Amino acid sequence: MRSRQRMFAAVMRLLLKCLRLGRRRRFKLVRQVEQLWHYGHLCLRSLLYNSFTNGDVVLDSLFEPIYWLVDHVTRWFGVVFVALVIGLTSSVVAIVYICLLPLILQTYTPAWICWHLAYGHWNLIMIVFHYYMAITTSPGHPPQAKNDLTGISICRKCIAPKPARTHHCSICNRCVLKMDHHCPWLNNCVGHYNHRYFFSFCLFMTMGCIYCSISGWEMFRDAYAAIERMKLLEKERLQVAANQTYYQTPPPTFSFRQRAFHKSVVYLWVLCSSVALALGALTLWHAALITRGETSIERHINRKERQRLQKKGKVFRNPYSYGSWDNWKVFLGVDVPRHWLTRVLLPSPHLPHGTGLSWDLPSCVMEQRAPLLAI
């Protein structure tokens, strides 16, 4: 009896020791996991901590692979986009000369013929000139030597001087003076030296598309109705031909030349109307930016700065804005009244105000503000 009690007591003591040992090991394992979790969390926070981190920074980080893909695709497909612009514009011009111009010369009055010839060719010359200059003109880049400029920041990607209003283009992989954006349809950055060419191209292209859409509206209606009539007659012809022998099949109602003419007019009107809407909206957007004296990039920077100062009860003032009218004069390079004709309404390769490295008050603005300063 006693031996059984001793054996039972020994088994119970052994079981208690095992439970205590298992509990200690379990607590030790849980404690190690908690330590590893806190250590990893601390390392992650120390690596990602930034006092400037906000929702925009997080979104930019998440979309960084997409930005990389867009940058490389835009860089390689820029030539394709330029060829597409040239091809579509050439197709519209060819349709106008081959299909519409003979019809205009036969049906319009001499006054309207002179108007269409004068305005159409002037608009075409302005489009070709400004698009060529926007593609071939360098937007401007800051000098690489650090001793040439003082009191400016350094680009973190180029490790080179970065003057005011200069930004780094990830597609061109270099800094651009007064950068507005990288345009894939130009395969070039829009900056200080070609910003006027870009906007003028958008403006005159929009004007040309609106001109083609308005002047070709009646032709488009007739051509569309003719195409619908072709389809209807084609169905009737096939139905009749199904009940006849092969040699009794009636000839086509419309010739190939007539079909091509009507389809070309429809293509011309649809393309010009679509481009007029899309490019017109872009032109109005850039016109509003020019009126405020800022670029597309500066709009976002100024908006954040305006909100920051508004919280402090202060008012933000754009240091590069001289007033709506003066902003347009500075942008277009209008120094005297005759420049509205020679530099705006006619092709002109004149340079913009300033070098893009410093932003002194232009002479046209100084002359207009001199009486106010004198008072």
Catalytic residues: 183
Unique residue bearing structure tokens 């894939």: 184
Find the helix or strand (DSSP H, E) in which 162 lies: strand 161-162
CA angle, residues 139, 145, 148, in degrees to nearest 5: 85
At 212, which amino acid appears? Answer: C
> How far is the CA of 20 from the CAs of 15, 25, 30, 46, 172, in angstroms?
9, 9, 15, 39, 69
Structure-token pair, residue 23 = 């509990």
Query: What are the CA-CA distances from residue 362 to residues 284, 294, 320, 324, 332 (Å)?
Result: 25, 16, 11, 14, 12
Residue 150: what residue type?
T
The shares of helix, strand and coil residues in the chain, as percent rounded to the nearest 5, are 70, 5, 25
CB 181 within 8 A of CB 82: no
